[in-house]
Amino acid sequence: MRIVISAGPTREPIDPVRFLSNRSTGRMGYALASAAVKRGWETILVSGPVALAAPEGLAGLVRVETAADMAEAMKREAQNADCIIMCAAVADYRPVKVAERKLKKSDGGMVLELEPTEDVLLSLGRIKRSGQLLVGFAAETDAVETYALDKLKRKNLDWIAANRVGVPGEGFESETNAVVLFSRRGEKIVLPLDSKEKIAGQILERILPDGRRQGDRL
């Protein structure tokens, strides 16, 4: 079983000292990677910049910074993965121009022009091999189920783990999480509030119930 998990935020540079990013700490993705290692799976972690120690026993750790780096690493690692979990909070937009020198302030305001980044999960859904399990996350403030099901379909996923953001105890910058899993076959599994480590174990248990033995290929 070879599993590739992405975690953490991306950083989109504005100039040599500034960037656009988000509140992801990487904790959920790192917990998933630890849980996968514990099951004896060959685990590759593709991580944006975070303040966490890498889980022991990884088969590979790829450190990335931008959404473009993340896209390149994930598409490469996906080639021989049995399961891919896209847990990273990839920036949806990046500055059109990256200033070579530090931008100096002036008296007036400032407009930053942004362009979309690659949707890595969408790309992975397009190149998905048969037998490969593709799992996404959906962070939503509202209409969680509607948006999650839309992403499941649109991105050609097998599972999506939906969680609310902006709610204390769930999602970004929290030690706990509550998740609802939806599958392409129509299953809906509620994982109530628990530590991200426990939630990670439950996610793997549900999406890969038969994938426990080392060396197994799906």
What is the distance between the alpha carbons of residues 3 and 135, in angstroms, rounded to a whole number? Answer: 11
Which of the stretches 42-50, 102-110, 112-120, 187-195 binds ligand CTP when contact is defined by CB under 6 A? 112-120
- Residue 90 makes contact with ligand CTP by CB under 6 A: yes
Residues 6 or more apart whose CB falls under 8 angstroms from that of 25 comprise: 8, 50, 51, 52, 172, 173
Kindly give the pairing relationship between strand 133-140 and strand 114-116: unpaired
- Residue 32 makes contact with ligand CTP by CB under 6 A: no
Q: How far is the CB of 166 from ligand CTP (least distance, A)?
A: 13
- Residue 77 makes contact with ligand CTP by CB under 6 A: no
Please confirm, yes or no, whether 177 is among the known catalytic residues: no
What is the distance between the alpha carbons of residues 17 and 23, in angstroms, rounded to a whole number? Answer: 18
DSSP-assigned letter for residue 129: P
Closest to ligand CTP by CB, 3 vs 120, is: 120
Q: 71 vs 66, 123, 125, 134, CA distance in Å?
A: 9, 8, 12, 15
- Residue 92 makes contact with ligand CTP by CB under 6 A: yes
Closest to ligand CTP by CB, 33 vs 88, is: 88
Which of the stretches 29-37, 55-63, 114-122, 205-213 binds ligand CTP when contact is defined by CB under 6 A? 114-122
